[in-house]
Each structure stands twice: as structure tokens, then as C-alpha cells.
Structure 1
Amino acid sequence: MIYKDQLNRELNLIETPKRIVSLVPSQTELLVDLGLETLIIGITKFCIHPKHLRKEKTVVGGTKSIHIEKIKALKPDIILCNKEENSLEIVEGIEGIAPVHISDIYNLDDAFELIKMYGELFQVEVKSEALISKIKSERKQFKLKTKNQPKLKAAYFIWRKPWMVAGSNTFINAMLLEANYTNVFSGLQRYPEIDLDDKNLQKAKIIFLSSEPYPFKEKHIDELQTKFLDKKIILVNGELFSWYGSRLQFAFKYFKTLSI
């Protein structure tokens, strides 16, 4: 069977893959929620959901650095990657081991496409369609609740020293819009470094400090609040803004708790 990934690359699979290596945490969790946990043989050290997985599966490295020999020894039928999470060097290094499926996610439609792809790849179409329907239902309810509420201007910090924010052409930017916020850094691409005196930041009513990849804490709220007395500064669960797999089913309920 010929399948395509989200980069339009072709994968030729003789049969449904039974031995899966996943190099992306959100995709690992998605596999589990699609009922495929027993087929997963290799994961990264960042695949923290569900918690027990790292004790039961072979950890083959991180998302940016892997142990190729460990992956070879597992003899996978397929390796799952992501364009942003995994480097070209990693992909090129593992292509000779097994077919590599690469996701490329910038918005919810891309996420839905990936879930559907996995449903087809692993013959769990009913579960994948049910998951997509659940996420869409949660999204619809949230949109109805917020349709008359104004979009507040927000900045979303992902790193400190240097200060870095989420700009356009990112899944985080798309999720900020889904959560009914306007990203003041949408005029900049990807994850730019900024100065705290940046004119765009001055426009923000709310500053979000993400729990990942930099683990912002309450002390960082205090640090910024002294400079931005007129802004609301909030610690947010980064997984619910950046994980694009089955965790999306919880995102919109979480967004309701952020209502200012």
C-alpha cells in the first residue's frame, strides 16, 4: 500500500505496521489513545504521557538527538517524526531503517489530517474519526461560548535568556486564535527572540508564560510584573497550546479556565 505523509512523501508499506518507533511526544500519546500502545516499541525521553510508557518501552534518545543503533536493534516497521521536532539529519539517518512518516502541523486542520492519517495507517479509522469528532465538538461549544467576547491581545513566551515568543506560522499561534486571543507577535515568523521593550509587547493585555519548553514558574511572573504593571501575566499549560494529538480533546475546556 502507498501512503503519503504531511510532506507529501510516499511510504510503501507491505502490511499494517506492527512495530512503531515514535520520536514525537504528542504523537506517542496519540498512538496510545488510538489503542496502539502494544505496538509501540521505541519512544523518546520526552514522551511523558502516559507516565508508565518510559518504563515499558525502549527510550531511543530525545527529539533532537537519537541513538540510531538502538532504533536499528528494535527492527521497527515504521518511524514517526515531525518536521519541527526532528531535524533533517535525524530523518536522513533513520530512513534506511524503516519507512519514515513525517507530520507537519500548523493548525487544527493539520492536526485532524494527521489523526486521520494514523487511523488509516494503523487500521483504527473508527477510533480516529471518533477522536476528531470529540475535538470538533469541544471546539464548537467553546466557539459558541466566546462568540460575543472580544479577542484580547496576548504574548506567548516560550523561553527566557534569551526571551523568545511564539510568532506566526506556529501551532501555538493557531491555538491562541482558537482560544480567542490575538497574538501581538503574529507579524513575526516562528519563534523570534525579543527585547522586553519591544513595541509589540507593549500592545499586549495578557502575557502567557508557558510551562514548556522553558519551565516558567511563579517567580517569573513576579519578575515581569514589576516591569509590566498594567498587564495580566499568567502561567499556562504549554501542552494544551502546543501538543497537537489527542491532548486537543482537553484544550478547549482548559481555555475556558483562562477567561479574563
Structure 2
Amino acid sequence: MRVVSMVPSWTETLLKAGVNVVGRTRYCIHPPKLITNIPIVGGTKDVSWDLVADLKPDLVLLDQEENPLEMAEECPVPYFATHVNSLESLQKELVRLGEHFENAHLLELSVQCLDILEAPTPKWDSKKIPGFMEWVKMPTGSAHKVVYLIWRKPWMAASKETYIGSVLKKLGAEIVEFPEGEKYPVLEIEDYPEALFLYSSEPYPFAKKISDLKSLGVDGAIVNGESYSWFGERSIEFLKNELLKSR
């Protein structure tokens, strides 16, 4: 089956599962050695259907959180849409994909995801942050609530209603409460003086702004954004390793 994947996380996961991915987005950068010769047909929010048609795909893979509804409505070939907004939904979607592609690797990943969901939740330690890359300001205590930042100007966070929030919860973090329904709320850092800020390495390049972040004087660290947000193969491996450490 020839597949065009418009979801970076799924592109990586399908390629590692041996699925024939013939088209991708410009953000599908993993695994580097396997994506090199796969044509780019757009981004996660835009697509050239002419380029897709040239590839003669049997299926276009979409996700409700990653791609706009218009992409599904305008898709000229059959599509398969997932909806991943938590570890629980990831497990279910891996089963759906595994059955659809009759792929043992994807079904095995669904079992691994179920094992993660059933594993004991570790105690969060603000001085030993999973996916840690660099300190902005090391905290003096360990009972911080967490704010996971994905953007600046304006500051935007990922709430507990997102996949990132689900990963943080599984790792034992207590996430600052935001108004219900706000998946990616805009906020002011000074409103959370006792929070531990996790600055994601993507989509905003916080790691390149470390000097500016240090000047804010708030507890926080740069973390690997791919580990927290790339659902599928990458975050499953990340969580397996982190949960194994805690045992």
C-alpha cells in the first residue's frame, strides 16, 4: 500500500514499521536515513494535492490534532484519520493502524503503549526532569507544579487536555490548571511565580534563547520537545526508558 503521511509522528512510526510511505510533510524529519528520498507534498496545515496525485497513493494519513478539517474534506484520495490527544487514544489508534495495515510492529507498539498506561506512575522530581536538556534556573525545591511552554510572543502552554499533558501526567508531573477547553492557553509567566517552566525544544527554538530565558529569573529547564510530543514510536521509547528508570 502506498501511503502519503501528513503527520510527522506517524511518518516516523510507519517507516520503522516497514510501511511504504511515498509522500510526507516538510516537518517529517525522522528517521533521517529513511525520509531522504520521500517527496515533500506540503506541511501539516497545507498540502499540494497535485503533488499528492503525482505519487499515486492508495491512502493519505491524517490526524485531527495535527491537520485542519479542510485537508480531510478536500482530500481527493481515500484517507485514514486518527485522533491522538492522550496516551489512551494513542494506544487505540495504534490498534486501528495495525489492523488496517495488517502490521505486527504497529500492533506490538499498541501493546507497549498499554504496558506504559498500566505501569505505576513515578514520583515527579523537579531536579531530575525527563527529557532534560539544559537548566534555565535550577529549582531549590521539588514540589513545583509544571507549566510546559511551546511558544513565546505570546507565551503558550500545553494543558493537561493535550497529548503532552498526558505524557507529563504519566511521568508524575502535576500540571498547572488552565480553564477547561483551552488546550494551548496563552499566559503571562509572572502569573505563575511558583511554577517550574519546561521550555520545549520545539516548535519554538527555546534552546537558542537560553540567555533571554535566564533573565526571567524563574525556575525552569529546556526539555526535548520531540520526546513529549511525537506520539508513536518516539514517545513510547521515551516513556519506556523513563518508567524503567523509576523502578
Q: TM-score, normalised by structure 2?
A: 0.83
Match of 2:5 among 11, 22, 27: 22
Quote the offset at 1:172 in angstroms. 1.0
Q: Give 1:121's aligned residue.
A: 100
* Alignment gaps of 5+ in structure 1: 1-17
* Alignment gaps of 5+ in structure 2: 127-141
Q: Give 1:107's aligned residue.
A: 86
Q: Does 1:227 align with 2:216?
A: yes
Question: Is the contact made by 1:167 and 1:173 (CA closer than 8 Å) also made in structure 2?
Answer: yes
Counterparts of 1:54 and 1:109, CA distance in 2: 28
Question: Is the contact made by 2:62 and 2:81 (CA closer than 8 Å) also made in structure 1?
Answer: yes
Match of 2:111 among 114, 133, 137: 133
Quote the offset at 1:215 in angstroms. 1.3
Quote the offset at 1:132 in angstroms. 2.4
Q: Give 2:224's aligned residue.
A: 237
Q: Measured at CA, do residues 158 and 235 of structure 1 come closer, stay the same or move farther in structure 2, by a change above 3 Å?
A: same
AA in 2 matched with 1:203:
E
Counterparts of 2:202 and 2:125, CA distance in 1: 31
Q: Does 1:179 align with 2:158?
A: no
The alignment yields a C-alpha RMSD, in angstroms, of 2.7
The size of the alignment, in residue pairs, is: 230
Q: Measured at CA, do residues 144 and 176 of structure 1 come closer, stay the same or move farther in structure 2, by a change above 3 Å?
A: closer
1:142-195 alpha-carbon deviations (Å, 9 max, x no partner): x36549998741110000111111123211111111111111144451111111
Q: Does 1:214 align with 2:165?
A: no
Quote the offset at 1:224 in angstroms. 3.2
Question: Is the contact made by 1:151 and 1:181 (CA closer than 8 Å) also made in structure 2?
Answer: no
AA in 2 matched with 1:106:
N
Match of 1:193 among 181, 186, 202: 186
Counterparts of 2:154 and 2:245, CA distance in 1: 26
Q: Give 1:155's aligned residue.
A: 147
AA in 2 matched with 1:159:
W
Q: Measured at CA, do residues 228 and 148 of structure 1 come closer, stay the same or move farther in structure 2, by a change above 3 Å?
A: closer
Q: Give 1:249's aligned residue.
A: 236
Q: TM-score, normalised by structure 1?
A: 0.79
Question: Is the contact made by 2:9 and 2:231 (CA closer than 8 Å) also made in structure 1?
Answer: yes
Q: Measured at CA, do residues 26 and 120 of structure 1 come closer, stay the same or move farther in structure 2, by a change above 3 Å?
A: same
What SS class does the counterpart of residue 52 from structure 2 fall into? Answer: helix
Counterparts of 1:88 and 1:155, CA distance in 2: 29
Q: Measured at CA, do residues 195 and 186 of structure 1 come closer, stay the same or move farther in structure 2, by a change above 3 Å?
A: closer
Match of 2:21 among 40, 51, 74: 40
1:45-79 alpha-carbon deviations (Å, 9 max, x no partner): 11111102332111101111111100112121111
Question: Is the contact made by 1:155 and 1:165 (CA closer than 8 Å) also made in structure 2?
Answer: yes
Q: Measured at CA, do residues 236 and 158 of structure 1 come closer, stay the same or move farther in structure 2, by a change above 3 Å?
A: same
